[in-house]
Structure 1
Amino acid sequence: MTTYAPLQNDTFLRACMRQATAYTPLWLMRQAGRYLPEYCATRARAGSFMGLATNTDYATEVTLQPLERYPLDAAILFSDILTVPDAMGLGLSFAQGEGPRFATAVRDEAAVAKLEVPDMEKLRYVFDAVTSIRKALNGRVPLIGFSGSPWTLACYMVEGKGSDDYRLVKTMLYSRPDLMHRMLAVNADAVAAYLNAQIDAGAQAVMIFDSWGGVLADGAFQSFSLEYTRRVLAKLKRTGVDGQIVPRLVFTKGGGLWLKEMAPLDCEVLGLDWTVNLGTARALVGGAENGPGKALQGNIDPNVLFAPPAQIATEVARVLDSFGTPFQGSGTGPTHIFNLGHGISQYTPPENVAALVEAVHSHSKAQRS
């Protein structure tokens, strides 16, 4: 068994478990990415996005780059949400400036019947990266592993690429719900196996990105997204290689409408996009009134990062104040992890991220004094 250095900064994990922290921890979705010149340089050396993601040394290097620049409170594995369908044999590729696409889309009964949970050895490069990153972090901050949600993976698998209208995947959902349920069941079991393997490799928290849950109609969201996220969560390991609890985070973009229905989910943290008021969310799911209370993560608009530093600080204060003073004391209570309401834009000035991090740490300390 690999042994790792003791954790020097457990603020993020404590907040996930709804324990008091000295300040509000933060990390950023897509924090290792194209807004950093050093990332672009490493990607150029790797030759392609998949060249970067499948090479342990490169994946480790880019995961650590934002932590060299900013005092962030967690690292997130550098990978892609589409590694799982790729391992199912759908042939993932990334054309420059085009985003991901699959060589084979899943659009009919025969294609769905062929789907099965992939051999996790095909994803060994991801687990090797997790172990390598965890070692390289040397206890500086915790490492978050992640996957796309069963529904979000299905969107890409049916459409074959990103979509503006989700016409093909919704056609299947409405005309052949039986096929969609079959695909989602395979996806859920694959995602659970994938996240468990990341936990075994050293991930200290795991996050499910339900990036496209918010495109579903009310009713369809519950049946085709939430139900399968629940299925994943039920199968996840509760403790990591070091015997510590591994918090589970669920982020549904556009999911604010269904917060009450997400409250009973068997996870520790709910992520929110910028359309949701954190105080309202805290009242709905932050306490223990309806199911176990959830820590909340989010939720500043990523485009705030294009404003001057003084405006960024104002918006940060507004988000932190909308949550209110986090829990202080022993035991557990409402806590907040600061993040963006979606991934950081590749056009973001790196110095503005420094302003954001500074504002979060200083304002959240002041809130507690």
Structure 2
Amino acid sequence: MDAEFPPLQNDLILRAAWGQQVERPPIWVMRQAGRYLPEYHEAKGGRDFFECCRDPEVASTLTLQPIERFAGLLDAAIIFSDILVIPQAMGMVVEMVDKKGPHFPNPLRSPADPQYVDLLRRPVDVAKELDYVYKAITLTRKKLQGRVPLFGFSGAPWTLFCYMVEGGGSKMFKEVKTWIYKYPDETKALLQKISELCVEYLALQVKAGAQLIQVFDSWAGELSPASFKRFSQPYLTYIAKHLPLRLKELGLEPVPMVVFPKGAWYALDAACDMGYNIVGLDWLHDPAEAVKTVGDRPIVLQGNADPGVLYGSHASISEVVAEMVKGFGWASRKKGWIVNLGHGITPFVNPDDLKFFFEEIHRQTKDAQ
């Protein structure tokens, strides 16, 4: 498969992801391709967000922008796409509303909704429906010319379900809480269907050229510990177990897998046993405590600077970097850490401040040798 693409010049993140000791911790950040970059708006032009996702040429251009701007500082690219392409493939309409975010004009309100039965029963051909994502991945791998590896990704079943029933982002999560406490069995049936689609979608991303994958459970923190065990954990575990099996069926080698259960700080121990190679931490975690929780398990941690520090002074950025370098035990371990923010880059960040964050990681980890 990799013979189709230019040889990889920087495999640092792959070696780190498989748990090897490395010369410095690899760096990438969530939402590194996006609206904080002036060149993003130029390339996007008059297209709406999902139009950009569906145009492989535009999606690959946007994916490469941070790699080009921060040349030599980043160790991975992540394909420009969105987690909500799976509900779209299932037949739901999703729009991206300016200054508001994703919007489902016809969200799923109860199991009595005919749409629920349709979503459960209708076969979904993710190979056909999401072909534009695979095309974008293959094109991007070629354009990268081996500079860094490429991430594919998917939303987690729980997070996708939240959007499908809430109709967008939410503060109260009234609708999804109604589902889990009033219709738990119907909830689980749809979560299982979504899980199976995630496995196939991620497998086809790897077939197209993705070299690592991440599963984003952005709303995991809305669940209590008991509810997380019922409505998120089993489906995250299902993906981790079945994706390698599906890759094997397709004649493909396994790739490193990241799980990111944002906000579910109580689930770190469980996340380390789900079958993923890497567990992403949000900024609510103390790195040193997270390292203790991992113990001697062969888990790599990813994270976890507060994205808000990028609005701060360079002195504050340096301090946060120092806390991570110390907390993740970089000087003594030389493994087990992939640098990232604790969530995606927020709007209005100055790209030069992000560049300073990257440079500080390079400088301070070198000094810690």
2:225 is equivalent to residue 224 of structure 1: no
For the structure 1 residues 232 and 244, does the alpha-carbon distance in structure 2 shift closer, same or farther, using more than 3 Å as the test? closer
* CA offset digits 1:55-81 (Å, max 9, x no partner): 011000000000111121100010000
> What whole-Å deviation, never above 9, does each CA across 1:64-121 have from its counterpart, x for those lacking one?
0001111211000100000000111111111111101113212222332211452110
Aligned to 2:117: 113
How far apart, in 1, do the equivalents of 2:172 and 2:270 lie?
Answer: 25
Match of 2:66 in 1: 66
1:53 counterpart residue number: 53
After superposition, give the CA deviation of every residue in 1:259-289 in whole Å (9 maximum; x if it has no partner). 112221111000001111111111111522x
**Structure-2 residue corresponding to 1:253:** 262
Q: Distance in 1 between matches of 2:230 and 2:276?
A: 18
Over 3 Å counting, the alpha-carbon distance change for 1:255 and 1:351 in structure 2 is same
How many Å separate the matches in 2 of 1:193 and 1:40?
A: 32
| 1:40 Cα deviation from its structure 2 partner | 1.2
Contact 1:106 1:157 in 2 (8 A): yes
Provide TM-score, normalisation by structure 2. Answer: 0.93
Which residue identity lines up with residue 96 of structure 2 in the other structure? F
Quick one: which of 140, 148, 159 aligns to 1:152? 159
The percent of aligned pairs where both chains have the same amino acid is 40
Query: Following superposition of structure 1 onto structure 2, how do residues 1-369 of structure 1 map, counting pairs within 5 Å?
Result: 3-45=4-46, 47-70=47-70, 71-109=73-111, 110-116=114-120, 118-120=124-126, 121-237=128-244, 244-288=253-297, 293-325=298-330, 334-367=335-368, 369=369
Structure 1 177/275 Cα, relative in aligned 2: closer, same or farther at 3 Å? Answer: same
What amino acid sits opposite 1:69 in the alignment?
A: R
Could you say if the C-alpha distance between residues 327 and 227 of structure 1 is closer, same or farther in structure 2, counting changes exceeding 3 Å? farther
TM-score (norm 1): 0.93
Preserved CA contact (<8 Å) 2:237 2:275: yes
Secondary structure of 1:144 counterpart = strand
1:221-246 residue CA offsets vs partner (Å, 9 max, x unmatched): 01100111111111113769996541
- CA distance 1:326–1:260, change in 2 (3 Å): farther
The gaps in structure 2 that reach 5 residues or longer are: none
The offset of 1:161, in angstroms, is 1.0
Residues matched between the structures, number: 359
Distance 1:142 1:326 in 2: 25
- Rate the CA distance shift 1:4–1:206 in 2: closer, same or farther, 3 A: same
Equivalent pair of 2:302/2:339 in contact (CA under 8 Å): yes
Deviation at 1:361, TM superposition (A): 1.1
Contact 1:208 1:249 in 2 (8 A): yes
Q: CA separation in 2, counterparts of 1:244 and 1:87?
A: 26
> Structure 1 counterpart of 2:80, which letter?
F
Q: Can you give the 5+ residue segments of structure 1 that lack an aligned partner in the other structure?
A: none
Using a 3 Å threshold, how does the CA distance of structure 1 residues 316 and 133 change in structure 2: closer, same or farther?
same
Task: Report if aligned partners of 2:259, 2:271 keep a CA contact under 8 Å in 1.
Answer: no
The residue type equivalent to 2:156 in the other structure is: S
- Amino acid in structure 1 at the alignment position of 2:62: V
3-state secondary structure, aligned to 1:115:
helix
Q: How far, CA to CA, are the matches of 1:22 and 1:180 in structure 2?
A: 45
Deviates more, 1:232-241 or 1:99-108: 232-241
The Cα shift of 1:13 comes to 1.0
8 Å Cα contact 2:16/2:336 also seen in 1: yes
Whether the aligned pair in 1 keeps the contact of 2:202 and 2:213 (CA below 8 Å) is: yes
Residue by residue over 1:339-368, the C-alpha shift from the partner in whole angstroms, topping out at 9 and shown as x without a partner, is 00011011101100110000011111222x
1:326 deviates by 5.8
| Deviations 1:311-345 (CA, angstroms, capped at 9, x unpaired) | 2112111111111126658xxxx510010001101
